[in-house]
Amino acid sequence: METVIITGSSGLIGSEAVLFFTERGMRVIGVDNDMRKEFFGEEASTEWNRKRLEEESDNFHFYALDIRSEKEMEGLFSKYGNEINLVIHAAAQPSHDWAAKDPIKDFSVNANGTLVLLEMARRFCPKVVFIHLSTNKVYGDVANSLPLEELETRWELDRNHKFYEKGIDESMGIDDSNHSLFGVSKMAGDLLVQEYGRYFGLKTACFRGGCLTGSAHSGTELHGFLSYLMICTMQKRPYTVFGYKGKQVRDNIHSADLVNALYHFYKNPGVAKIYNIGGSRYSNSSMLEAIKMCEDISGNTLSWNYKDESRFGDHIWWVSDVSRFQADYPDWSYRYNMQDIMCEIYEGLRQRLSARERTGNDLVRNKSQK
């Protein structure tokens, strides 16, 4: 039976991958220790998603392990050995702001954890396909030097620039820029994945994502902005926009579209490949535009305030050029645009929040009966 190890299996991309590959009859080994709860608090816990996956997915085997532990990873990889066909490495510390609070832990997760996984793959399943979920933050804030013009609801790239039509490609440099400590730790992992491909011949790929999103996101203020934005709109919580007049632009790719891209690479892998991946010109919005969509879909008005100081290393405008990946895998295409994404996030949150409210009411009734 084809076997895939998925790290961060209870998170947004990991859980989407679990469902995708179990539906295709593969044995899925999920690895997750719910560090998202440690990073961002109880509300960000992915425990609800793990329970959902175990209920819905056949051939799903869950391990609460730490990817930084050589002992734990050696035990896992030695158990399955050459039966492992694919590793999807989606576990990470994902926040600029959190990384600055604890740089050592951030680096240990994003860089050292990646190294441990690569070494286990090299030792126990050298023919494996190893896919790393990297980030566009490896480029730092080089994109902020692009010629931008201010429109009514967004910043936009000069029409004469080479990146205007399709977005930013993989030729963008990484030097002479502010990466944030998160960007540095992810870049270290990214380079390791490339090097294990070139030096040891592993079939590896780095997918440098823009904003990855979907209804399975446990959004918080520090990470998962579309999900958190919708939560605030639905629950009438205050929301803070940081910098760039709220006109900063992000491309957003649905987790299902991303996982489908990973599957295409798995079926026809290369060595040390690098792909920018995101919503491209097909699916992107500014912060102001995303707020308007949340309000239109939910029927609520968001109470938001503005701070002129932007987050360190944050992009003013990012739209990914995915043409390199599409050239290698022409059968891949998008299913979700921005409107589809926002509607699905709303519906997923509505169901989760309703279930949480019912559970809370049951607990109150049980306590009163005692």
Please give the sequence-ordered ranges of beta strands (E in DSSP) within the chain, or none if there are none.
3-7, 27-31, 60-63, 84-89, 129-135, 148-150, 155-157, 203-209, 211-213, 239-242, 249-254, 273-277, 284-286, 304-307, 317-318
Distance CA 115, CA 103 (A): 17
pLDDT at residue number 367: 46
Distance CA 234, CA 290 (A): 14
pLDDT at residue number 365: 45
Query: How do residues 44-61 score in pLDDT, each as one tens digit?
Result: 899 999 999 999 988 999
Query: How do residues 185-237 score in pLDDT, each as one tens digit?
Result: 999 999 999 999 999 999 999 999 989 998 776 666 656 689 899 999 999 99
Distance CA 278, CA 91 (A): 18
pLDDT at residue number 311: 83
Query: How do residues 334-367 score in pLDDT, each as one tens digit?
Result: 999 999 999 999 999 999 877 766 555 443 344 4
Q: What is the CATH number of domain 3-365?
A: 3.40.50.720
Average pLDDT over residues 162-183: 95
Judged by DSSP in three states, 315 sits in coil
Distance of CA 2 to the CA centre of its chain: 24
- Joined together, the tokens standing for residue 80 give 């399955």
Distance of CA 222 to the CA centre of its chain: 13
Distance CA 248, CA 241 (A): 10
**pTM of the full structure:** 0.92
pLDDT at residue number 364: 38
Given a contact cutoff of 8 angstroms between Cβ atoms, the answer to whether 98 and 68 are in contact is no
Q: Which of 164, 172, 103 is nearest to 138 (CA)?
A: 172
The DSSP annotation for 78-132 comes to HHHGGGEEEEEE------HHHHHH-HHHHHIIIIIHHHHHHHHHHHH-TT-EEEE
Distance CA 40, CA 24 (A): 33
